[in-house]
Amino acid sequence: MKENNRNDQLDRFFQHNPIEDPLYLKKYVKEHPDHKMAWYLLGREYAAQGKEGKAAYCFAQSGEIYEAFERQKITIEGPLPTYPPNGAKKDIQAPAKGKSSGKGKWLPAMILLLLLAVPAAMDLAKDNVPGTRNTTDTSKSASVKATPTPIPQQEAGGDSASGVKLYLSEGNWGKKLQQVLASKSSGAGESVIMEPTLSTDGKWQEWNKSVKPLVSVESNGTGDGKASLAYYQSQICSCQVADSTSLIPAITKWMSEREQAIVLQSAVQAYQKRTGAMPEKPEQLTQPYPNNLLPGLTPDMQEAFPQVVSKLNESAKAGKPQDTKQVPEAGESAQQPAKEQATSANSTPKSSADPLREPLRIVIDTDKHQLALVSGNYIIRSYPVGLGGEKTPQGEFVISEKVRNPNGKSNGEFGSRGMTLSDTLYAIHGTNKPSSIGKDESHGCVRMQQADVEELFNMVPHETKVTIGKGVLPPDSEGGSSPGTGGPGSGAGRGKPDQSFNLPLQTKEDNPGKKYKWLD
């Protein structure tokens, strides 16, 4: 931590006396959950009051700070308490006026010295903290003893071949870790907590850029409650991070299954909107033009079809709409999760789109010359596009038509794919002028690179909502690329065209009887 930042934190920390006012200390750690020394101090306060369970939880959150000052491993015995605990105002009572003990006179000064010693203590702790997995030296693993608690089984996925169980954190990885540690369903093997990249404005989860592992828990499954922790991101442990290369195949597979599930779910909802009824068989989603919602379905999507329809029917009967989570408004944060759950790894069916729970939408930012495919506040794909400046209309549209090789060509002015917007002369289509991408050279339409428009065409059905506006997408997190040039996560296959989302062609999607006159 930079010296100025640490001094600012100290100033804020001691605006109140944390010992005279322990409730403020609780409020502080709630507002600064990454401040490990504050967690340690709160743990000491709980320990002094004899509240060992809560103290153990705070010490676990403080990580290497606890190990540095206590010179011992973190051990949690008994059930893990929920933080913040219920009835917080009753848990810690501020000392009555006029009854301050001797410790109140010297302990704040000691705390200040401890806080100032944090950098050195963290360096000392590196040799004792479970920063990397070590199968031969058990002294470098945290011993965790917890009473398992039942956890809803909906959100996690796993690779049964590798035995890796995957859990997605939606803004609170510490709570997810606590749930995994306390869950009987985690069982033997490795459980990995992941997190998407957060956009620079804090409003979006950038799935298109990366879903990265944060921490893993490896259990021996013997029932002794011991687990080896490994950290994969330096910002959460101040330690030498473990190599996450072996996790990439499992995470990639998990993401692919979630993407197929949300494409299928969106197509089923589009069919229902068009016809007023749910499809009875998967072939109804891949009918010939003009009812070609999707080009085809993968085997996994065909297998998942009955479960997706059943789930949507159940939601409709219960009066729970599937698209209640709207685009983040100004000031809202993507770190406010729709639901906080950990789940049993191998229990999630391929039909589950979690955490991509809402129908796919398209958002086009005319300032940034960027088109994003989103589900809720998750950006699934982003593509650079060519526009027409003031000629490109702003507002809300839907995809009303999808056509392959418009005007019988794959290399004409509209490229190999076209999607009409609300039965107008405006469309999202390919182009034979790729140099116009990122510029305002069209007559109002949205131009895309061939690989990009073909991937988008595969993923979005008719009735997909399209929003065109200024400043509707986050600023580039890399800070170096100019508008429309793309960057990490931009383009087909999240910037890797050879890994594009592909569907088999199982229907007829061209329309040779129509001459398209989109405004290019």
Please identify every residue annotated as catalytic.
429, 445
Q: What are phi and psi of 67, to 5 degrees?
A: -65, -30
- Phi and psi at 468, nearest 5°, equal -120, 125
CA distance 270 to 69: 59
How far is Cα of residue 365 from the mean position of the Cα atoms in its chain?
22
Structure tokens at 27: 């409020």
Rg, the chain, Cα only: 27
How many Å apart are CA 351 and CA 64, to the nearest integer? Answer: 40
User: Burial, 303: exposed, middle or buried (Cβ in 10 Å; 0-12, 13-18, 19+)?
Assistant: middle
Q: Token pair for residue 335? A: 């770190």
Token output for 365: 């930012």
Gap between the Cα atoms of 455 and 373, Å rounded: 11
175, 61 in Cβ contact below 8 A? no
Give kind and range of the element (H or E) at residue 511: none
H helices present in 276-418, as ranges: 299-317
Count Cα neighbours of 210 within 13 Å in the Cβ-side half-sphere.
Answer: 10
- Is 286 in contact with 279 (CB distance < 8 Å)? no
Whether 26 and 41 have beta carbons less than 8 Å apart is answered as no
Task: Classify strands 417-421 and 427-429 as parallel, antiparallel or unpaired.
Answer: antiparallel
Residue 440, beta-bridge partner list: 387
CA pair distance 360, 501, nearest whole angstrom = 14
Residue 415's nearest CA partner among 462, 387, 374, 450 is: 450
Q: 478 — phi, psi (to 5°)?
A: -80, -25
Task: Name the nearest CA neighbour of 196 among 258, 153, 243, 246.
Answer: 258
Residues 6+ apart with CB under 8 A from 41: 18, 25, 111, 114
> How far is Cα 348 from Cα 469, in angstroms, rounded to an integer?
37
From CA 42, how far away is CA 59, in angstroms rounded? 8
Query: Which residues neighbour 279 within 8 Å (Cβ) at sequence distance 6 or greater?
Result: 268, 271, 272, 285, 309
